Structure 1
Amino acid sequence: MLSVKHTVVVEQVPYPWLVDAVTVIRTLVEESRVDEQGLVLSDGQVVPDIRLTRGLHLRPGSVYVIENGAGEGKVAADAAGTSRDKAADPSDTARITVREWDHRRAVHLELAVTEDDMAIELDGTLKSPDRPALVEIAGRTRGGAAPLKLFEMAGRARLRLDDWWPAADSDRIPSSAPASARLDHRWVRADVRAVPRPSRDDGRWDIQITVSLRGRRLLRPLAAVVLTIAARRIRRAVVRSVDDLAAQWNDRVPRLVAMNADQLREALLRAQ
């Protein structure tokens, strides 16, 4: 196994701001409606590429198809092995299924996308949206043609929001990483853990990232040799990737957290 540890310094996100942001997004969606034009927002703007093809708006079991131009994609449900809706056509590229929509309990959505003979399936849940406590995401990729099957993988990620801020804002050390992810390829498994440290004097977070790589199944001995030989190069690549993500975060997050709820709502509406 190869393990890489690296610490980055990032701009913090105040928890009250996160609560407001989730509320703004949820409210915008709940105030919308769907008709023959597409998704109609509260201010009358229409997002024409979204169609409700099954069920009632935001009710469990409702299905939405996102189109991307005629002939440019396939219906994601086909790739997921589900039946094709009569209202769908060959231009469909993505399908969203609502499993649960309750602002007190959870929002649970499934997304299936097909692009260039590769299918991506995601399953995401936000527990307690009124006071976000837990985010869980699971997904997998599937390849149609034989060469693409080499890129098939599955993964899951978990962010315990109710543990993240106590760890980031105090000296309390969590018993396990509040943020974790696992990615499984047929040959290699990658585990990622992130632990925040108390806020610095400048208000930013120190986050320790740990990435662990190991071989899987019969290839474990071979993977161990490869990881040992390429350890230095892999470490550099991991550190560079983590630093790049931190730089992007620090470039974008300050502008977002500077917005209050009304400003965020207006920005989201203008982006349509």
Structure 2
Amino acid sequence: MTVLRHSVSVLALEPDRLQELTGLIFDLAESTRAQGEEILLEDGQPVEDVRLVEGRHLRPGARYELSEAGATDQVALLVREWQRRSAIAVEQLLVSDDATVRMTLRLRTPDRPRLLEVEGRVRGPEGSGALRRGSGKARLDLAAWWAATGLAPGAPPAVRAPATARLKHRLGKARLCLRPRRADGGRWQVDVALTVRGRWLLRPVAAVALMVAGRPVRRGFRSAVEQAADAWNRSVGELLALTPDDLRAELKRQATERTPEQPMGAPPP
């Protein structure tokens, strides 16, 4: 078993700001209507790259197909549950030449977000074998997260990590834990721990491989955590700079703006 650890400083996203954001997103979604396969905003503008192909709009069983200009991947979205006071659950299916990915997201009490659960499976093309398959689960207990960030400086951390993810593969398992602490300047200090182990007879082999490649693996882990923190800081920084009216306008713009087709070999925007 190998444990990798790193700590990063990130901008804090407080409960009231998150609640405001999720409320705006769900308000916008519920202001839309279906006209045949087309989804229209309240003012009649079409939501680009989304088609309703089965069921009633925003009702359990509703199935949507998502598309982007020039993309060959097949992406479908299925509504499993839609109750603002209790839970919203959606399932996404992505089929490409390289893999099939099925992921379910469930948010409890969306108007006052408290728990986000994600479960997914991935498999390679038909006939690619068991080594191209894996599964994972993630859980973010927002109530526990806010409680952890509200602890006094120097207080012992909570026994259970508020955010966890588990990955399973034929060759091994991994468990990721995030524990936040309040820091100065409107920031959080987040301690990240990744536990990796081989499965069954492969455990000694995995242990030796991780020992031999120890330094590159640890550098790669730290780099990945730092990059994730940088991406979070950029996104949250932009979000915190927007007023509620700006947020509504930006959400509407993203819903109605068609994804531009990329030239062959060009990176995404």
Q: Same fold (TM over 0.5)?
A: yes
1:109 to 90, 103, 106: 90
Equivalent residues in 2 for 1:1-272 (5 A)?
Answer: 1-36=1-36, 38-68=38-68, 72-73=72-73, 93-147=74-128, 150-171=131-152, 173-198=157-182, 200-271=183-254, 272=256
Q: What is the DSSP-based 3-state SS (H/G/I as helix, E as strand, rest coil) of the residue aligned with 2:226? A: helix
> Aligned-pair distance for 1:203?
1.5
| Aligned-residue offset at 1:49 | 2.7
- Number of residue pairs the alignment of both structures matches: 252
How far did residue 18 of structure 1 move? 0.2
Give the secondary structure class of the aligned counterpart of 1:49.
Answer: strand
Distance 1:245 1:210 in 2: 14
The 8 Å contact of residues 38 and 49 in structure 1, kept in 2 or not, is answered as no
Q: Counterpart amino acid of 1:163?
A: A
Q: How far did residue 190 of structure 1 move?
A: 1.2
CA displacement, residues 148-191 of structure 1 (integer Å, 9 cap, x when unaligned): 75332111110000110121122363220000001112112111
CA RMSD, 1 decimal: 1.8
Verify the 8 A CA contact 1:142 1:152 in the aligned structure 2: yes
TM-score under structure 2 normalisation? 0.88
Counterpart of 2:62, as a letter, is S
Contact 1:2 1:231 in 2 (8 A): no
Structure 1 letter corresponding to 2:82: W
In structure 2, list runs of 5 or more residues that go unmatched: 257-269
Alignment check: 8 A CA contact 2:130 2:170 kept = no
Deviation for aligned residue 1:248:
1.6
Structure 1-normalised TM-score? Answer: 0.87
- Per-residue deviation, 1:145: 4.1
- In 1: Cα distance, 2:27 partner to 2:76 partner: 22
Q: Could you tell me whether the CA contact under 8 Å between 1:105 and 1:127 is conserved in 2? A: yes
Identity %: 38
Query: For the residues of structure 1 that align with 2:141 and 2:48, how far apart are their CA atoms?
Result: 35
Q: Deviations over 1:184-215 (max 9, x none)?
A: 121121110000012x2212110000011110
Counterpart residue identity of residue 176, structure 1: R
| Maintained 8 Å contact 1:51/1:66 | yes
Question: Given the superposition, is the C-alpha separation of residues 7 and 70 from structure 1 closer, same or farther in structure 2, using an over 3 Å criterion?
Answer: closer
Instruction: Give distance in 2, aligned partners of 1:27 and 1:190.
Output: 37
Cα separation, 1, equivalents of 2:69 and 2:253: 23
Report the AA paired with residue 204 of structure 1. Answer: R
Q: Distance in 2 between matches of 1:238 and 1:70?
A: 34
Give the 3 Å change call, closer, same or farther, for CA 20–235 of structure 1 in structure 2. Answer: same
1:118–1:148 contact (8 Å) kept in structure 2: no
2:108 touches 2:116 (CA, 8 Å); kept in 1? yes
Shift of 1:235: 0.8
